[in-house]
Structure 1
Amino acid sequence: MADSSFTRRHWLETAAALGAAGLLPGAARAQANWPTKAVRFVVPFAPGGSSEIVARATAAELTKSLGQSVFVDNKPGGAGNVAMAEVARADDQHTLILGHIGTLAVNPYIFDKLPYDPAKDFRPISLLAKVPSLYLVHPDLPVKNLKEFIALAKSKPGRLNYGSAGNGSAGHLAMEYLKMASDTFILHVPYRGTGPQLTDLLAGRLDAASVGAPAVLQFIKAGKLRCIATGTPQRIAQLPDVPTVAEQGYAGFEMTQWYGLLAPASLPQAAADKLAAAAAKAVREKEALDRLANDAAIAVGSTPAEFAAFIAAEQKRWKPVIVRARIKPD
């Protein structure tokens, strides 16, 4: 007859090993059945704009495929740091966040200390969409394309200016990246938001700017602003006659605002895999594509490994730009 204490000890050791590997039937069922309640999808910015469009288009499709409500919760503040820190600590396994170029590739280099670790505190799930950054000039500036703009800037170092929505904003980064690539000196004029910046650009008080496509397409089509280049790898459907920066002599140049889905690092692997497959499919559904296209957003839908590699590449791209321009938050 077997020693009962040995039998019990052996069963406990086996159970512990299975539990650690996530192979106990109960644990496996729980992960396979994820989600078991409504999922909170945090957007680290104020309502409105491209971030909410991307989040809501994704949430609507995830609700259908996951069988639980996925609701968007805007939580702005601290350049996205407030929301990122909160979600990093979330352990309910039903809280997600919209990752962004700012929170993942810029903030690590402009803030002396972050309340979260982009690499350790989150699981990259899927790159959802990119929003084109456009390079614009006031129509009175005597340039028709990027090459002419660069030539003019080189002939008048420091005499041309550009506006941005603030220090560390996407528009600030975009223009500093162009300055670094083209070795030009153009004066930066920071504003508090895209609205005031656009007011002065439209009035001719600014020479140039880089702005996300949704905010300016109407002004380009009306002839109130001139688009001299897009920051996308390929031309965009809304402006098929406007060449990219790369096409105009700067190979490999890319400047887009991008948005991806992140989960806290504590989300179990099985749940993360299920979510990743659903998210990559969600942004490619017709309804999501239509909503994104209305905002000039380009749907992507990637694997977790692809998104992780993309984040690393973007960090590598922006670190030297930030260091060179000595960008600090407002």
Structure 2
Amino acid sequence: MTQDLDNVDFPLSRRRLLGGSLGLGAVAAWPGAALAQPAAWPSKSVRFVVPFAPGGSSEIVARATAAEMAKLLGQSVYVDNKPGAAGNVAMQEVARAEDQHTLILGHIGTLAVNPFIFDKLPYDPNKDFKPISLLAKVPSLYLVHPSVPANNLKEFIALAKSRPGRMNYGSAGNGSAGHLAFEYLKMATNTFIVHVPYRGTGPQLTDLLAGRLEAASVGAPAVMQFIKTGKLRCIATGTPQRLPQLPDVPTVAEQGFPGFEMTQWYGLLAPANLAAPASAILAQAASKAVLSPVATEHLSKEAAIAVGSTPADFAKFIAQEQQRWKPVLLRAKVRPDN
């Protein structure tokens, strides 16, 4: 699925600069290369934009990848959280970036949800960006505050049906992955639970941990520590099989809803104007970075699954996800102002 960076056919200047070795820190210019060859990429620090507030799965995936990418590219890769409008603010900014060193974390929300819930987007997910690599898939966990008298999904559904419209759940915002995941669960279980949108996973978790929210669906990396310490109770996972990190928690499918599956995913995107040689270097670095032992181990501890893919495979995956979620979103009438 990935290729070794040492063997990729980099532009000549890049190959000379790297000298067949990566991950050795900042690289120095090879004498005379600038006169005969195009400038090497990257030539300065790389900005990796996360279109959501700090504290969620998106930041965990981005930071794990960025740290390893920096070693491979020979330049720092820094994560910049820029939340707002369900990710639209950051997506618009990066789509218009011309510095050749600004990237963004693509997400199920910004690429497969927003196109069908906003009447008009300030960016085109399929034309304004180059898919670089699918980085990771993150299991969606269904959680309740310990004060909620439900130890599993069946008990939670029964409780919600006994209190129609009087229970609530939170999400990182309208159209977010958590919103989508819980609306999907509501459709499958025929329950009425009030949605409370927040401006990011961090603020949402603050209220969930305090008991001001009763339930939520959150990506595993952001909440594993709270489950392990008993501050939150996981009543189901959206994965096809049980998670090794939570072997005692049954899936939604196991608890009476066969075929149910809900996972979040994250990938690396570049503005469409990124030069082809730079795109090739970046694609190899991103895929190798997320599949490195350090990143894979870090993500695994948080129940995230490292993927790594080619640009073509990521583009195909995005198209499939758009086809999958369009009818669900239209049927549920999910709107950004819900």
| Common fold: TM-score over 0.5 | yes
| 1:295-316 Cα shifts (integer Å, max 9, x gaps) | 4432111121221122122223
Question: Which residue identity does 2:59 align to in structure 1?
Answer: E
Which of 1 and 2 has greater Rg?
Answer: 1
Equivalence for 2:59: 52
Distance in structure 2 (CA, Å) of the matches to 1:292 and 1:285? 11
Aligned residues: 307
Distance 1:303 1:248, change over 3 A: farther
Aligned-partner SS, 2:110: helix
User: Where is the helix percentage greater, Structure 1 or Structure 2?
Assistant: 1
1:85 corresponds, among 89, 92, 95, to: 92
Q: How does 1:199-210 map to 2 (within 5 A)?
A: 201-202=208-209, 206-210=213-217
Distance in structure 2 (CA, Å) of the matches to 1:306 and 1:245? 28
Please tell me whether the aligned partners of residues 171 and 179 of structure 2 are also in contact (alpha carbons under 8 angstroms).
yes
Q: Are 1:171 and 2:193 matched, yes or no?
A: no
Equivalence for 2:188: 181
Equivalence for 2:132: 125
Question: Which residue identity does 1:212 align to in structure 2?
Answer: G
Q: Name the stretch that deviates more: 53-62 or 161-170.
A: 161-170
Aligned-partner SS, 1:76: coil
Question: Which residue identity does 1:116 align to in structure 2?
Answer: Y
2:49 corresponds, among 31, 37, 42, to: 42
Distance 1:282 1:194, change over 3 A: closer
Please tell me whether the aligned partners of residues 135 and 227 of structure 1 are also in contact (alpha carbons under 8 angstroms).
yes
Distance in structure 1 (CA, Å) of the matches to 2:210 and 2:77? 42
| 1:79-127 Cα shifts (integer Å, max 9, x gaps) | 2222212221223333221112221112212222111100011111111
Q: Report sequence identity in percent.
A: 79
Q: CA RMSD in A?
A: 3.2
Q: Structure 2-normalised TM-score?
A: 0.77
Distance 1:275 1:293, change over 3 A: same
Equivalence for 2:113: 106
Q: Structure 1-normalised TM-score?
A: 0.78
Equivalence for 1:290: 297
Distance 1:182 1:317, change over 3 A: farther
Equivalence for 1:322: 329
Equivalence for 1:304: 311
Q: How does 1:8-87 map to 2 (within 5 A)?
A: 33-87=40-94
Q: Offset at 1:191?
A: 4.5
Please tell me whether the aligned partners of residues 176 and 321 of structure 1 are also in contact (alpha carbons under 8 angstroms).
no
Please tell me whether the aligned partners of residues 53 and 201 of structure 2 are also in contact (alpha carbons under 8 angstroms).
no
| 1:260-303 Cα shifts (integer Å, max 9, x gaps) | 10112222334323322221111111222233234443211112
Q: Name the stretch that deviates more: 250-259 or 302-311.
A: 250-259
Gaps of 5+ in 1: 1-23
Distance in structure 1 (CA, Å) of the matches to 2:39 and 2:263? 35
Question: Which residue identity does 1:208 align to in structure 2?
Answer: A
Q: Offset at 1:204?
A: 5.5
